[in-house]
């Protein structure tokens, strides 16, 4: 009986602690959970890639890298929606009926577009395997099969992006992170087990990931349905106009299309100009650089809905929210990327115990990490642009960036072919940051003049 008062006192003490007070803040709680999720998923990636390379071999891993690079297709189709859906959800978060109607419309759009991507990849699989990637003629059938299978995973993952966007807009990043970590872990564990006990081939890797992705999308769909409450009628979706949403998505999608071309230009060009083995090495070092780039995500995801609501309520974003987002990004994302750049070779030695990976991949990794550090700063400005509904600026910025990167890709001819990928990233991110800073300075001056 004495335990109950003791537990009550312990709970009361914890509730008064600085940690407990911080965790009551939604932004802090979401940021903390996102960092935990990011750390866990990055650790999974860092551990699993060397294991996959050992299980599959460099050549078979090259096939996997080629398939994964096709994520570009679904990334493009989802480009505008993935960033606009959280903003619309944040705006309608207090009206459950209206929110549910929008979600019903979003579901229709995502399923239709996901099927479009799936069918397109199925039709193009043979051509991609034989005419695009630089693979030995005797292995084109294996690559074609892997592409056909991985297109299923892309379909399920694409539809699941709606659930993630919904949770982010509702500031339920904790739920989104639990789902991402749980199913991310399951994908890697299941795939490793399959490769240990089954044939060590790319098609089995793709099959296992696709099956877990199917379980993930079904599970999350059930959670979303229960969370929103009320079954509702699909015909309710016809009572609201989707035209403003689609108009904003189309404008932003045009800009992001250019941005995706820029961000994928390295892989597009390298897939045609280097061997499948070197392309696999580039995929590995790019994965490491992107892991550092993702360190900013907890802050941008946590503060984006808050900045949207600031603008809706007061007409401008809160300086306090902006400062916290920028400060957190610099400390936890920009500086770590710069630090990692200084020790790129040591990182590769610790991570991948393959001399060829280290010799070929070190300098490209340094360039990619510099680009990641630069991009973390630009993305703080990008959040402000999207939250303010200035989607047309994204298209203008990315058009300039595309011209710059095409010039770099055309005239740069490094001795090591995959170094060009790093050069493209540096040119793109520096240009974006300069344009973003120019906009921010002009925007602040204009706001000061109005007041």
223, 240, 257 - which closes a domain: 240
Number of domains in the chain: 2
Look at residue 312 and tell me if it is in a domain: yes
Does one domain contain both 262 and 223? Answer: no
Look at residue 4 and tell me if it is in a domain: no
205, 224, 240 - which closes a domain: 240
What tokens appear for 143 in the block?
């690559």
Does one domain contain both 232 and 322? Answer: no
Look at residue 323 and tell me if it is in a domain: yes
Does one domain contain both 216 and 279? Answer: no
Phi-psi region of 105 (alpha: psi -120 to 50; beta: other; left: phi over 0): alpha
Does one domain contain both 236 and 256? Answer: no
pLDDT at 23 exceeding the cut of 60: no
CA–CA distance from 355 to each of 63, 281, 341, 358, 417 (Å)?
A: 20, 11, 19, 5, 17
pLDDT at 73 exceeding the cut of 80: no
What pLDDT sits at residue 338? 94
What pLDDT sits at residue 260? 63
The crossing angle, in degrees rounded to 10, of helices 140-169 and 202-228 is 20
Does one domain contain both 386 and 367? Answer: yes
Q: What is the DSSP secondary-structure string of 92-142?
A: TTT-HHHHHHHHHHHHHHHHHHHHHHHHHHHHHHHHIIIIIS---GGGHHH
Look at residue 86 and tell me if it is in a domain: yes
Residue 357: count of CB within 10 angstroms of its CB: 21
Q: What is the DSSP secondary-structure string of 269-320?
A: HHHHHS-HHHHHHHHHHHHHHHHHHGGGHHHHHHHHHHHHHHHHHHSS--HH
What pLDDT sits at residue 273? 76
Cβ(180)–Cβ(135) under 8 Å? Answer: no
Does one domain contain both 155 and 248? Answer: no
240, 269, 295 - which closes a domain: 240
pLDDT in tens, 357-388: 888 889 999 999 999 999 999 989 988 888 77
Q: Coil, strand, or helix at residue 198?
A: coil
Does one domain contain both 163 and 251? Answer: no
* C-alpha dihedral (90, 94, 97, 102), degrees to nearest 10: -10
Look at residue 14 and tell me if it is in a domain: no
Look at residue 428 and tell me if it is in a domain: yes
Does one domain contain both 233 and 254? Answer: no
What tokens appear for 386 in the block?
């999207």
Look at residue 283 and tell me if it is in a domain: yes
Q: Which domain holds residue 327?
A: 242-451
What tokens appear for 280 in the block?
């696999």
pLDDT in tens, 400-451: 988 998 888 888 777 667 888 899 999 999 999 999 999 988 877 777 666 5
Whose CA is closest to 398, among 221, 251, 212, 297? Answer: 251
Q: For the chain, what is the mean pLDDT?
A: 80
Overall pTM surpassing 0.85 (yes/no): no
CA–CA distance from 439 to each of 11, 378, 399, 427, 434 (Å)?
A: 49, 11, 15, 19, 9
Does one domain contain both 149 and 51? Answer: yes
Does one domain contain both 251 and 123? Answer: no
pLDDT at 303 exceeding the cut of 60: yes
Does one domain contain both 317 and 416? Answer: yes
pLDDT at 85 exceeding the cut of 80: no
Look at residue 296 and tell me if it is in a domain: yes
**Cα three-residue angle 317-321-325, rounded to 5 degrees:** 120
Does one domain contain both 200 and 285? Answer: no
433 versus 57: the higher-pLDDT residue is 433
């Amino acid at each position: 009986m004495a335990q109950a008062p003791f537990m009550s006192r312990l709970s009361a003490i914890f509730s008064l602690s600085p940690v407990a007070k911080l965790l009551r803040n939604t932004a802090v709680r979401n940021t903390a959970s996102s960092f935990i999720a990011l750390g866990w998923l990055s650790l999974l990636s860092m551990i699993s890639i060397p294991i996959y390379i050992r299980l599959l071999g460099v050549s078979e891993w090259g096939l996997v890298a080629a398939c994964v690079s096709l994520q570009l297709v679904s990334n493009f189709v989802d480009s505008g929606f993935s960033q606009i859906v959280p903003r619309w959800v944040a705006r309608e978060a207090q009206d459950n009926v209206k929110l549910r109607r929008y979600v019903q419309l979003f579901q229709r759009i995502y399923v239709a577009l996901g099927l479009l991507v799936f069918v397109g990849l199925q039709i193009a699989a043979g051509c991609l395997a034989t005419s695009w990637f630089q693979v030995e003629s005797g292995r084109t059938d294996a690559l074609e099969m892997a592409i056909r299978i991985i297109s299923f995973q892309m379909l399920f993952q694409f539809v699941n992006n709606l659930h993630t966007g919904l949770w982010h807009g509702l500031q339920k990043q904790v739920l989104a992170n639990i789902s991402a970590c749980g199913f991310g872990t399951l994908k890697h564990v299941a795939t490793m087990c399959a490769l240990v006990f089954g044939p060590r081939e790319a098609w089995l890797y793709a099959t296992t990931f696709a099956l877990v992705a199917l379980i993930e999308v079904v599970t999350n769909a059930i959670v979303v349905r229960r969370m929103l409450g009320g079954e509702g009628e699909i015909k309710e979706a016809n009572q609201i106009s989707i035209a403003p949403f689609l108009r904003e998505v189309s404008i932003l999608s045009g800009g992001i299309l250019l941005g995706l071309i820029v961000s994928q230009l390295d892989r597009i060009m390298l897939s045609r100009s280097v061997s499948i083995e070197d392309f696999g090495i580039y995929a590995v070092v790019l994965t490491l650089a992107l892991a550092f780039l993702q360190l900013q995500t907890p802050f941008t995801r946590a503060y984006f809905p808050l900045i949207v609501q600031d603008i809706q309520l007061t007409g401008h974003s809160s300086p306090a929210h902006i400062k916290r987002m920028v400060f957190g990004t610099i400390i936890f994302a920009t500086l770590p990327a710069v630090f990692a750049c200084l020790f790129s070779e040591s990182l590769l030695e610790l991570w991948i115990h393959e001399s060829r990976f280290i010799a070929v991949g070190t300098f490209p990794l340094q360039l990619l990490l510099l680009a990641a550090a630069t991009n973390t700063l630009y993305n703080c400005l990008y959040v402000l642009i999207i939250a303010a509904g200035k989607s047309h600026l994204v298209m203008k910025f990315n058009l300039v960036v595309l011209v710059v990167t095409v010039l770099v890709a055309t005239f740069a001819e490094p001795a090591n072919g995959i170094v060009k990928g790093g050069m493209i990233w540096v040119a793109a991110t520096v240009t974006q940051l300069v344009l973003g800073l120019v906009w921010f300075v002009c925007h602040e001056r204009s706001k000061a003049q109005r007041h």
